[in-house]
Amino acid sequence: MLSLIGLLGALVALIWLTLRGFNLFISAPLCALLVALTSHTAVFPITSEVNFIDAYMGGFASFVKAWFLMFLLGSLFGKLMEECGAADAVARWIVSKLGMQYAVLAVVVACAVLTYGGVSVFIVAFSVYPMALSLFKDANLPRRFIPATLAFGSVTFTMTSAGSPEIQNWIPIQYLGTSPYAAWQESLVIAIVMAVLGYVLLNWMIKQAKANGEHFESRDGDPESTNRALPHPLTGLLPLFVVLGLSYYFHDLLKQSALIVALLGGVLSLLVINWRYFSRLHHAVGYASTGALVAIGNTAAVVGFGSVAKLSPAFQEAVSVMMTMPGHELVGAAIAVSVIAGLTGSASGGQAIALPLVAPHYLDAGVSPEQLHRIVAISSGALDTLPHNGYVVTTIRAICNEKHETAYWPLALLTVVVPLLGLLLILGLFIWF
C-alpha cells in the first residue's frame, strides 16, 4: 500500500510541478526519489542490489545516448532554417497561395508528412517550428497554440496509424508477428476521424482565443522582422524533402540511426543551398547546440522517473491487476497499455513494458493479432502525453519556449482526448462489427 501511495503521489506531484513550471532537473529526480523511498528501494549503489541512483541515471543516460545526435542535428536544422530566412520564405509562400486562414493546416500537414515519412516526432517539432512561428506571426495567431498544432500533426492520426514507420507502430510486430499495416482498414477510418475532429477543435480553440483578444506577441530571441532579401521558397522545401527522403530510404537498413543520416543531409543541403543568406551562422550553431542540450536533458530527466517507477512493487502489481481485468480482451489490453504509458510518460515505453505480458496472454485467448496490434498502438498514444511526457516537455518548453499552464491544455485536448475517442471508436469497430 505504501508503494502505491508513493507512486501515485509522486506522479501527481510531478504533473503538478511540471504544470507550475518547476525545473525538471530538480522535480523529476525528487519525485523519483519519493517512489524509491516508499518502495523500500535502496538509494545508493552500496551493494549490487537495485537502487535509486543506478535506476534513475541508467534511464537518463540511456536516453541521452540513444537520442543526443538526433536532438543536436534536429535543433541545428530548425535554427538554420530560421537563420537563413528559408522558414519565412516557405511561410510567406504558403500564405500567398492558400491564404492566412490555412496557416494552421499548413503546419499540421507539414508535421504529418514528416512523421509518416519516418522522421521522429521529436525531430519533426524541431524542423517545423521555425515555419510554424512565421506562419502564426503572419496570420496573427496566438503563439501558445503552436505546441498543440505541432503535436496534433505528429503524435495523433499519423504516429499510430497503419503503415506509419514510427516506433509506436513497429514495436508490436516483434511480439505479435504482424506487419506495420495491421488492421489498416479500421486504422484508416480512425485516422480520418481523428484528423477531422482534431483540426476542427484546434481551429475552434484558436478562434475563441482571438475573440477574447489574444494575438501573436513577439518575444526576445524571435527572428528579427527586417526587409532583408529572402531565399526562394524551394530552398526551404528542398532540405525538408532531403530529410524525408533519406529517412525513408535508410529506415529499414539503419532503423533509428537513419535519422542521423537524414538530418545531417538536411543540414548540409540547407547550408549549401542558402549559404549566402547566412549572416550569423556561428551564433545560430551555438544557440542550436545549447537548445539541444536543454531539450534532451529535460526529456531524459522524465525518462529517469519512469525508470524508477517501473521498479516499484506498486507498478508491478498494477500491471498484474490490469492483465486479469474481466471483460473483453481488447478492452483490457487498451486499458493496460494506456495506463502504463501514462505512468511512464512514454508511448513506446508503455508498449515495451506491457507487450511481453499482454501479447501471450491475449493471443492464447484467441484475440486477433492484427486487432491487438492496432489497439496497442493507438492506446499507447493517448495517456502518454500527460504533462510530464518527454515529447510534451521538449515541445512546449525547449522548442516553443512556452509555459505548460497556457500551452498544455490545448495540446491535451488534441493528443489525449482525441486519441481516446479514436480508441473507443476502433474498439467498437472490432467488438461489434
Q: Do 146 and 106 meet the contact criterion of CB atoms below 8 Å apart?
A: no
pLDDT band of 323, cuts 50, 70, 90: low
How far is it, in rounded angstroms, from Cα 124 to Cα 144? 18
pLDDT in tens, 146-169: 999 999 998 999 888 888 877 788
Percentage of the chain beyond pLDDT 90 is 28
For 217, the 3-state DSSP assignment is coil
Between 354 and 19, the higher pLDDT residue? 19
Q: Do 74 and 240 meet the contact criterion of CB atoms below 8 Å apart?
A: no
Residue 361 pLDDT exceeds 90: no
What is the reported pLDDT for 226? 52
What the block records as the C-alpha cell of 132 is 510554424
Helix (H) or strand (E) holding 355: helix 347-364
Tell me the mean pLDDT in the region 333-360: 82
pLDDT in tens, 283-297: 888 888 888 888 888
What is the reported pLDDT for 268? 93
Q: Is the pTM of this model over 0.75?
A: yes
pLDDT in tens, 70-82: 888 888 888 888 7
pLDDT in tens, 185-231: 999 999 999 999 999 999 999 999 999 999 998 887 776 655 567 78
What is the reported pLDDT for 425? 95
Which residues does 13 contact at the CB level (< 8 Å), separation at least 6? 27, 31, 34
Q: How does DSSP assign 369-402, residue by residue? A: HHHHHHHHHHHHTTGGGSTT-HHHHIIIIIIT--
pLDDT in tens, 235-284: 888 888 888 788 778 877 876 677 788 889 989 998 999 888 888 888 88
Cα dihedral 188, 407, 297, 49 sign: negative
Within 10 A of 327 (CB to CB), how many other CB atoms are there?
A: 8
Tell me the mean pLDDT in the region 375-386: 90
What is the reported pLDDT for 199? 95
Q: How does DSSP assign 325-344, residue by residue? A: -SS-HHHHHHHHHHHHHHHH
Average pLDDT along the chain: 86
Tell me the mean pLDDT in the region 33-48: 84
Residue 97 pLDDT exceeds 80: no
pLDDT band of 142, cuts 50, 70, 90: very high
Residue 136 pLDDT exceeds 70: yes
CA angle 330, 348, 123 (to 5 degrees): 135
Tell me the mean pLDDT in the region 422-433: 90
What is the reported pLDDT for 300? 85
Q: Do 118 and 170 meet the contact criterion of CB atoms below 8 Å apart?
A: no
What is the reported pLDDT for 233? 83
What is the reported pLDDT for 110? 85
pLDDT band of 369, cuts 50, 70, 90: very high
What the block records as the C-alpha cell of 354 is 506491457
Residue 95 pLDDT exceeds 80: no
How far is it, in rounded angstroms, from Cα 188 to Cα 10? 38
Tell me the mean pLDDT in the region 52-63: 89
Of 95-99, 231-235, 259-263, 399-403, the range with the highest mean pLDDT is 399-403
Q: How does DSSP assign 235-294, residue by residue? A: HHHHHHHHHHHHHHHHHHHHGGGHHHHHHHHHHHHHHHHTGGG-S-HHHHHHHHHHHHHH
Tell me the mean pLDDT in the region 112-141: 83
